[in-house]
Amino acid sequence: MSFRRTRAMARKEMLHIVRDPRSLMAAIFQPLMMLLLFSYALSLDVDRIPAVVYDLDHTPESNDLLQDFRGSRYFTVVENAQSYKPIERAMEERRALVGIAIPPDYSRNLAEGKEAQVQILLDGGDSNTAQIALGYAQGLVQLHALRARNESQSRKAGSVLAPPVDTRIRVWYNTDLVSRNYIVPGLIAVIIMIIAALLTSLTIAREWEMGTMEQLLSTPVRPAEIALGKLFAYFVLGFIDMAIALFVALVVFHVPFRGSPWLLLFSSSIYLFGALAWGIFVSAGSRTQLAAYQLGTFTSFLPAFLLSGFIYSIANMPAVVRAISLIVPARYFINIIKGVFLKGIGLEVLWFDVLLLAVYGAVVFYFAARKLRQKVA
C-alpha cells in the first residue's frame, strides 16, 4: 500500500466534498439538528403528571393528603371532581393521566388505626408512564400515612416518637436523576453511527453512477487505497460532527463530564473509523446510490437505536436479540461515552469495549477493501 496514492485519493475525495457545499452543510448541521431535536423531545423524566382528585371525606386529614399531591413536583392537580364521571372524561380527553379518590371513611379509619384506603385510577393507554405514575402515587400515599400514624402515636404517648428506620438516599453519577444526562451521550453514539455510515455509503456507488470509477480503475491506485483514502476524507468530516455534538452536550445541555477527554477522543476515533468502514462496505456492494442509502440506513439506524441499550435495556431482551446486539458497535461505544461522561472511569475499566471497537473497525475495513477488490475485478 502506497501512502502517496492513498493521500492523493483522500485529497481527491476532500475536494469533491468541498465543491458540494449543500451536501457539506447538510453533513455538518444534520447531526446538530438531530441532537437538539432528540434531546429536547426525547425525555424519560416523568413529572408534572396531570391528576384529578375526588375527595368524598372532606376532612383536614384528606385535605392534607391532597396537599401532598399538589405540592409534589410529580403531580399537577388539574381538576377537583365531584363524582367519577369527570375523572373518566378527563382521561378520555387526555387532560389527566391519574385520578385520586378518597373514600368517606378515610379520616375515621386513619384515626382508629385501621387500614385507610385511597383509590388510584390510571390511564393505561401509556403503560410505561402509568406504571411510573403509580409508583409515585403509592410512595406519596404511604409516606403521608406513615407521617400521620407517627403523629397520632406521638399525641397518644405525649412525646415525639422517632421512626425506627431512617433511610438516607444518595444517588451516584446522576444526582438529580435527569434523563437528559444519559440520553444525550447515548444520542451522540447513535447519531454519529448514522451520519458516518450514510456519509460513506454513497461514495463508491456514486463513482459507478457518475462513470468515474472507470477512471479510477485506469490508475495504479489499489482497492485498499481507494477505500482508505475515501475513509480518511470522511473521517475529517465525521470528526467535525463529533466535536460539534460534544460541544452541544457540554455547553447547551450541561451534561456533566467527569472522565478523560483524551480517552473520549481516542475511543471516538476508533468508533468513527468502524462506522465509516461499514459505510464503505455497504457502498462497495451497491451499484446505485439509492440502494446504498437504503441499506446504509437500515443497517445503521435500527441497530444503533434499538439494539445498543440506548433506550431499551439489553438485559430485558430475548436471548436471540441479545446475541445479535453483540455485533452492534454502538452498544460498546455507549458504554464508553456514558462511563467517561457520568462516571469518570478510565481505560482500566473500559479497555475491553475499546478493544472490541478496534477489532470491529479492522474487520469491517478488511471486508470493505475485499469487497471493493471483487467489484473492481
Distance CA 176, CA 165 (A): 24
> CA 299 to CA 279: how far, in whole Å?
9
Model's pTM, two decimal places?
0.77
Q: Are residues 345 and 224 in the same domain?
A: yes
Burial class (CB in 10 A: 0-12, 13-18, 19+), 244: middle
- Cα R_g (the chain), whole angstroms: 29
Q: Is the pLDDT of residue 357 over 90?
A: yes
Which segment of 75-79, 87-91, 207-211 scores lowest on mean pLDDT?
207-211
Percent of the chain past pLDDT 70, that is, above it, reads 90
pLDDT score of 25: 79
- Domain total in the chain: 2
Helix axes 203-210, 289-306, angle to 10 degrees: 170
- Between CA 317 and CA 315 the distance in angstroms is 6
Judge contact between 311 and 293, C-beta under 8 A: no
Distance CA 282, CA 371 (A): 9
* Residue 43, pLDDT score: 65
Which of the two residues, 330 and 283, has the higher pLDDT score?
A: 330
Does 320 share its domain with 182? Answer: yes
pLDDT digits (tens, 9 = 90+) for 19-41: 777 777 777 787 778 787 777 76
Query: Does some domain include residue 171?
Result: no
pLDDT per residue as tens digits for the range 138-194:
888 888 777 777 666 666 655 555 556 666 777 787 777 777 787 888 888 888 888
Question: Which parts of the chain are beta strand (E)?
Answer: 49-55, 75-80, 98-102, 119-122
Is 167 contained in some domain?
no
Helix (H, G, I), strand (E, B) or coil at 7: helix
Shared-domain flag, residues 29 and 64:
no
Judge if 272 and 365 occupy the same domain.
Answer: yes
> Do 217 and 304 belong together in one domain?
yes
Q: What is the rounded average pLDDT of the residues 46-65?
A: 86
pLDDT at site 289: 76
Tell me: do 31 and 130 sit in the same domain: no
Are residues 83 and 152 both part of a single domain? yes
Residue 356 has pLDDT above 90, yes or no: yes
Mean pLDDT calculated for residue range 205-232: 73
Which structural domain, as residue segments, surrounds residue 67?
Answer: 49-157
**Which residues in 323-355 are b (16+ Cβ under 10 Å) and which e?**
eebeebbbbbbbbbbbbbbbbebebeebeebbe
